[in-house]
A and B are shown apart, each in its own frame.
Chain A
Amino acid sequence: MWEMLSYPFFQSALIAGTLSAAMCALVGVYVLLKRIVFVGITLAQLASLGVAVALLIDVHPMIMALVTTLSGVACFAMTRVGQRVPQEGVIGASYVMAAALGIICVAKNPVGEARNLKVLFGNILSVHTGEMVALAVLLAVLAIVHVVFYKEFLFVSFDPETAQAQGINVRGWDLLLYLTIGLAIAFSIHSMGVLLVFALLLVPAMTARLVAHRMMALFTLAIGFGVIAVPLGLYLAVRIDLPTGTAVAGTCVVMLLAVLTVRGLYRSAGRLAAGAAVLMLAFSLAMPGSVAAQDTDVERRLQELQQEIDDLRQSLASQQLRLPGALLLNPEMRVEGNFQGSYLAGGLARRAEQEGFSNNRFNLREVELGFRASVDPFAVLEAVISAQHLAEIEFEDGEEELEGPPGEVEFEEAHLTFARLPFSLRGKLGLMRTSFGEYNDDDPDEFPQIDPPNIITQLYGDEGEGWKEPGVNLNYQFASPFSERMTHVLWFGLYSGENGTAFHGGQLTEPVWFTRFELFYEVAPRAGLELGLSYAKGKRLDSYFDDNGNGNGDADGNGNGLGRMSVVAQDDDDDDNGDDDEEGCVGCLVGEFDSTLMNLHFEFDWRPPLYSLEHSFGFLAELFYSSVERHDGTLNQFGAYALTQYAVNANFAIGARFDVVNCPGFYNSLCANLGVEEGETLGIDELEDRSEWAFSPILTFNPSPFLTLRAQYKHTHRSYAENSQEFLLQALFIIGYERPDVF
């Protein structure tokens, strides 16, 4: 027997088993005295439900067992006996519920049934050190509680009526007692399993009850029987190859039968005891024979067991690691940060609200929190929440005023992607980037630049985030009939029209719709070019709102076609947030002027076919055409940018951007506002003269694929306002899932 003790798994099994046995036997005496055997097994079953749930949602089994068991304790201690539904009924129903839910949890657990069943039935051989420590601490606590409140517990257990009459809080003491029972069960269940916990709760106490005449003796003997059963059962399990938990439980029962027999013989009792004695004798006679026969095999058997446990541990470890981050049903997560610094060397300062950040300060431009998971076999949900911390500069009477810094939290994106639509279509539903042109199709952080292209800010405002909207879109990708290397994508989308600049005041009766055609051509294994044409048309309100929520065009409705603005102008709140007012309008007004946008884009990406990590080259050009219907005619303008980057090695890249914009003339385009007196609007001729161009060299350093440091110098030349020279710095970082994107 002694050689077994040298095996670590046997040592832990012995220690954990003994601790659990002592604990269960101690509280088991009360289970027996209070005749709440049924409560005992129900609590054990609830605890095992906790283990099953814990495995499903990946928390520690002991914690979940504690939660379910203590809920059970609370429930049983609160229900009164003598109501229409007897307490036994409640307990029985709980047992059924716990057993059924436990089986359901196991069946629905993606990790696999075999492992869970093993854990549900307890696996005393795979106890961890942490669990042993927890068991030891709990045993000490329970022992102290039971010694200190010994009298109270006995009183309320034996004679609750008298106790009540003497003014003792019977329910309170009962609850505490139940609590200790629940704790003992919850802590033991993971290593011992339902059957063994129940056996240790009941049988040692019963056995002790047969021979003990005083309370102290009853407790001592119960704990003694429990504690002896564990090494005995483990020894038998190893010797004659039995499942360990069952062997210990069986040993308890054999001890009970033995005591019954001795007592029966002693008292010359009836047939039952005699029969039990015969059974027990047969069992104990059979055992030494088999033990002797297998004596030489013990060593081998122990080694096999150790091997089995090592294998089990290894397979458990690998199974857990094979789940992506052991997330089970939780979504994948990602945190993306964009931190910027900006220094204005001269000229016109930025407007944080439209351009995303302000000059001469550090800006936490954005922290994005992304979640992604399959909703069902047909749809994938991606939700991105972004928080910003911007400093805002207000222009009033030509003066700059620093406000804020306001923090803002908003939904960046939240959409369902359907990959299994009929006719091989792919669909998106929800708040999304609209896919109009290349910038609106990708995450803005994917482009190798710090500030958004000027034309994007002028067309869509919104801090240069580009155009995102609630709506639906469909796309269809197909092979080109001309070449194997060529593919095409067709898009069609329908959006509300809430952008606020190019389109606003939209409703489903007057939606914005867009369509796009793309052509890809693969030049080499890691090089391709893309040509796309997009078209969007929608409605726009006939004026815009300044930061105080007032129509800046014709707030008083004095007759130049902007009469509807008065509805909005009355909403003259004091907040500085134009958004609220605009949103109010989206609900109450429908835009009546047409906005038409067209986009032509060309992209070329190249990596060397062999040493593809070493270099890369990218070029993207987008040309925008806008046709804007106004009260005084139609304004047709062009804007464009070209962005390029060459990676000189795996870490460093140099790039540049050239912007040229003719003011598109939306009422709240930045270029239509600067230098305009309050209450005035620019005519078409004045807007046609407003243009700007900008040039930016850009330097990028990637220490790893997950961190980007970037510097950009930007010179902007404006025909309608001061030029500006800026130095920009940026740190971009991402943790969590990476988004594989279609080229």
Chain B
Amino acid sequence: MSETPLWVQLANLLAAVLFILTLKGLSHPRTARRGVMLGALGAAIATVVVFFSGIPYKNLLIILIALVVGSVIGWIAAKRVAMTQMPQMVALFNGVGGGAAALVSIIEYLESGGENRAFLVATVFTVVIGSVSFSGSIVTFLKLQELITTRPVVLPGGKYITILVAAATVAAAVWLVIAPATWLLVTLLALALLFGILFVLPVGGADVPIVISLLNAFTGLSVAAGGYVLGNVLLIVAGTLVGASGTLLTKLMAEAMGRPLTGTLFGAFNASATAAGGPDGDRPVKSGSAQDVAIMLGYANKVILVPGYGLAVAQAQGTLRELAEELEAKGIEVDYAIHPVAGRMPGHMNVLLAEANVPYEQLKEMEEVNPEFADTDVALVVGANDVVNPAAKTDTSAPIYGMPILDVNNAKQVVFLKRSMRPGFAGITNELLYDPKTTLLFGDAKASLTDVVTAVKEV
């Protein structure tokens, strides 16, 4: 390759600084949007100047076409995706990034023949981590999109298969560094892709967002290693920033959810069928009509609304706000209790409710709202389940054991708006549903809420 002009290198330095400012900006609500703008600017600068970095122009047309095609696909996908489906979109974007990093290293290997040992190690690292991130993210996407089961998938002997594949991947990686061969690289690629799938399959429920964050950090690291292979400082800086901040973020998320990180990381290795379904189905529950619920709400002094993913799926955020306004007009105190992982990811529910113009001040976080349930007359749970499941506190065998929950069971009365008795994302039974003080209103969240709003007006 020919010499990179100085101004191009300085432009890359500028892009690296802009990326740092992006992450910095994203740490505070007030500066977050500006941060994203700076990041996009940095990305644009880096993408333009690479064409002036002394590269040969022989494949220019196909490069530009690929660039436009990818950009358009990314743009449309990001613009079209419903806010409820945003977590799986992030997973997908992350996966293709990891895939791209692996492919870049493969080409560099094919070009250079892998004569340099240090670069070879970095190449192997990029291919393995990038591929794991790619296939793992695809499985995560399929889980969140509910195209495959959201429960932990435990294959018979899965633990041993996973260990075997992991060992084979490491062996192939080491062998490739000692005796480079293209067929070995292809084998390594296949093994790493397989490992990515096995790594994510046993993960279920609340651990899925943590895995997305972890795979995000993985992709960052593989991009950094790819940058090392190419001798490109911008890739090293950007990839490492994401790798490091992503690792810390994964840890912060795991802490926010009370999940031990090692449990997520090594779930694949010690997966012992935890899919505790429990005998349910024909136990008695108390179900009521919209009128019953309206009366309970209308004569309450204090109501706490607990929105969950089901609310978002039914696009009923606006109707819930209507109900809140209706109750407030009657002089009833209304708050929203937001669990850190309400929705599918930390902060997801805040985004969804902000979209429906729910006043920011009414959104109360878990630690703030939990003591208030004791003097709450009615807790109205709309499309949430796992985040109010007392099993997280009492049942040590439950997959969600240890996750902090909203203490809805302390309220004087509990109302669940649910589509069916189907368990939540984590796939475990919620004892609270069978509690005598619980009333269930079955149906689509939006339809049920609309009925309740109408009935409340008449109370």
**Are A and B co-members of a single complex?**
no
What residues make up the interface of A, taking CB atoms closer than 8 Å to B? none
